[in-house]
Amino acid sequence: MSNPKPDPEDELAGTEQPFVTHLMELRDRLIKALVAVGIVAAVLAIYPGPGHLYDLLAQPLVAHLPPGATMIATSVISPFMVPLKILLMAAFLIALPVVLYQVWAFVAPGLYSHEKKMVLPLVVSSTLLFFAGVSFCYFLVFGKVFAFIQQFAPQSITAAPDIEAYLSFVMTMFLAFGLAFEVPIAVVVLARIGVVTIAQLRQFRGYFIVLAFVVAAVVTPPDVVSQLALAIPMCILYEVGIWAAQLFIKHTKKPEDEADEKSAEVVKQD
């Protein structure tokens, strides 16, 4: 029995590779990503160093501690492990563009041209939005939150936060704000794959506002400042997502969908 001829209109016809080849390429891509993270980590270990990285991360809190107060380490190995964790985290974030490029280079050959138009902008924009959320948290939210908290600290208490507890708090806040800033991506993807329509997204606006404040109350500390700082950007980004979804759907249509629309326009004109 002869093999079926590939569809001449299928741009991926004839590009299939053995499974072992895919595994080898995946291995190579993972090695390159790990090498990129390792190189960045080595550079950061030399300059500015793990200790200085932690000082930089702790600066928003230290700036609002009472005069003479410092952070403490309640574990013997905390002064070594906590800066090391921050070093690895910073190395991964800095090398993230290289890591995402390796992911893109692995999956791109198996995508159609209209799918590439859809995936690449989502990967780039989601990365930028995550960084924007982390930066917003560090530069704007932390200062306001720590200042607000210190206003309620009794005079009889000397603040001495534990470095591991602070790292856990920072990671939670970074993750919360980073994911919150992904709201436009979620909106665009749901609209693009047809789960919801633009009209339904607009109708859901009021429910999303309530949902945003509920999420902010759950994932942030029990203070008004951090909750508002998370909920309000989520509401704004939801509106941005609705606007972006309309443009994204328009510019990432399948060729057959575009042909059907042109045919429909011709029929209407006739």
State pLDDT tens for residues 105-148: 888 887 777 777 778 888 889 999 999 999 999 999 999 999 88
Residues 198 and 245: beta-carbon distance below 8 Å: yes
Tell me, yes or no, if the pTM score tops 0.95. no
Residues 58 and 71: beta-carbon distance below 8 Å: yes
Query: pLDDT category, 257, cuts 50, 70, 90?
Result: low
Q: Which of 10-19, 27-36, 169-178, 252-261 has the lowest mean pLDDT?
A: 252-261
* Rounded Cα distance, 149 and 206, in Å: 31
Q: By C-alpha distance, which of 235, 238, 133, 132 is closest to 184?
A: 238
Residue 66 predicted with pLDDT over 90: no
Residue 65 predicted with pLDDT over 90: no
DSSP for 111-147?
S-HHHHHHHHHHHHHHHHHHHHHHHHIIIIIHHHHHH
Task: Considering only the C-alpha atoms of the chain, give the largest distance between any 2 of them, rounded to a whole number of Å.
Answer: 88
pLDDT in tens, 185-244: 999 999 988 899 999 999 999 999 999 999 999 988 888 889 999 999 999 999 999 999
Q: What is the pLDDT of residue 256?
A: 55
* Rounded Cα distance, 214 and 127, in Å: 25
Q: Please tell me which residue, 257 or 79, carries the higher pLDDT value.
A: 79
pLDDT in tens, 1-57: 445 554 555 555 555 667 788 789 999 999 999 999 999 999 999 999 999 999 999
* Rounded Cα distance, 258 and 78, in Å: 59
Identity (one letter) of the amino acid at 100? L
Q: What is the pLDDT of residue 123?
A: 86
Q: What is the pLDDT of residue 2?
A: 47
DSSP for 76-119?
SSHHHHHHHHHHHHHHHHHTHHHHHHHHHHHHGGGS-HHHHHHH
Region 94-112: mean pLDDT is 86
Residue 163 predicted with pLDDT over 50: yes
Region 239-265: mean pLDDT is 72
Could you tell me which residues are beta bridge partners of residue 72?
A: 162
The three-class DSSP label of residue 211 is helix
Region 145-156: mean pLDDT is 82
